[in-house]
Amino acid sequence: MQRTPSPAKIDHAASILRAGGIVAFPTETVYGLGANALDGVAVARIYAVKGRPATSPLIVHVASVAMAKSLVASWPEIAECLAGKFWPGPLTLVLPKRHAIPDIVTAGLGTVGLRMPAHPVALALIRAASVPLAAPSANRFTELSPTTARHVRQSLGGDVDLILDAGPSEVGIESTVVSLVGSRPVLLRPGGISRKELESVIGPLSPAKDLEEGPHPSPGMHARHYSPRTSLLLVSDGELPDEGHGIYLRRTNPARVRDDLRSKSDSAAFGITIIQMPTEPAKYAARLYEQLHLADDAQVDWIAVDLPPMTGEWEAIHDRLRRAAGKSG
């Protein structure tokens, strides 16, 4: 049964935010670490707690389209179209910002990423606080994103003023980020809304440009990100390491598995634990970070993950796995 914080606890969290504090809260994607997006000092604490570089901007979470419009210098028809179709939901829109948004939120850029989360607790918190919330994932920078309150406590400990626990996140990976500041929309980060879904509404998306020195146009664009502490290997056809103890996240029954495992029913006897992952992209995404957290906690020598198919519906999963293994690009 899904846990829901009481209205009194949400009001308490809102008072912390209005006073300049930071609160971890659930969204449908992952747990966020929130501060008043209009308070530069509070936002600076997010960067300090996460160890996040100043070149990585934060997404601002809103509770209504009206709140979003109050934060941007322009709201084009394409933004209205996308928000109408996908908000609330795992889609972030990058638009020119108003001066009310401190530069620290946007890494000094003139744009801001906005999202309306599809989670009743997140929306209730923003409404109770009466301010937009700048909120990256509630974990140390480059580490695995949290999909439960337990993950937040493990990563950030007592550095957060309050954690609102509403059970596991349903989507399980971060939002899709689309920039609307140029002549054509640009997909900056694949995520919970697929490229196909977006293009069915607004037409072809341009690819993101290669990063240069300086601020990133979106979070989640570092070469290494979403990473477990344990070495993560991306494998095909069950080609696992010959040495050490490991955990193998298997999506399908591979054509080839190490000979000693193929003929044995108890793979654990050989120091390998096999975890069967879903074959559907949405269900896979919902379980991915949780399984990586559990694998990390097991203190094994390596984690091996089957590479999913190279098809559009797996684009966001490929992005997360490549960055988790430090192989982006």
Question: pLDDT tens-digit profile of 154-213?
Answer: 999 899 999 999 999 999 999 999 999 988 999 999 999 999 999 999 999 998 887 666
- What's the CA gap between 222 and 205, in Å, rounded? 21
- Write the burial class of residue 96 (CB in 10 Å: 0-12 exposed, 13-18 middle, 19+ buried): middle
The token duo for 145 is: 């994103």
What pLDDT is stored for residue 261 in this prediction? 54
pLDDT in tens, 289-328: 999 999 999 999 999 999 999 999 999 999 999 999 987 5
**Packing angle, helices 77-86 and 195-202, rounded to 10:** 130
Residue 39, pLDDT score: 98
pLDDT per residue over 79-122, tens digit each? 999 999 999 999 999 999 999 999 999 999 999 999 999 999 99
- Shortest CA distance to 169 belongs to which of 321, 324, 27, 289? 27
CA distance 159 to 69: 32
Q: Which helix (H) or strand (E) holds 102?
A: none
**Domains (ranges, CATH) in the chain?**
7-207 (3.90.870.10), 231-324 (3.40.50)
Side by side, which strands form the sheet with 246-250? 231-235, 302-306, 246-250, 272-276
> Do 73 and 96 contact (CB within 8 A), yes or no?
yes
Q: Is the pLDDT of residue 241 over 90?
A: no
Q: Which of 115, 130, 98 is nearest to 59 (CA)?
A: 115
Q: If you count DSSP H runs as helices and E runs as strands, how many of each does the chain have, helices first?
A: 10, 14
Average pLDDT over residues 219-224: 83
CA-CA distance, 124 to 7, in Å (whole number)? 9
Residue 239 pLDDT class (50, 70, 90 cuts): confident
Distance between terminal CA atoms of the chain?
A: 40
3-state secondary structure of 305: strand
- Is pTM beyond 0.85? Reply is yes
In degrees rounded to 5, what are phi and psi of residue 129?
-75, -25
User: For residue 146, what are the CA distances in angstroms to 32, 196, 281, 286, 313?
Assistant: 8, 26, 19, 12, 22
Strand bridging mode 32-36 / 23-25: antiparallel
Task: In whole angstroms, give the CA distance from residue 55 to residue 52.
Answer: 8
Q: What is the pLDDT of residue 210?
A: 73
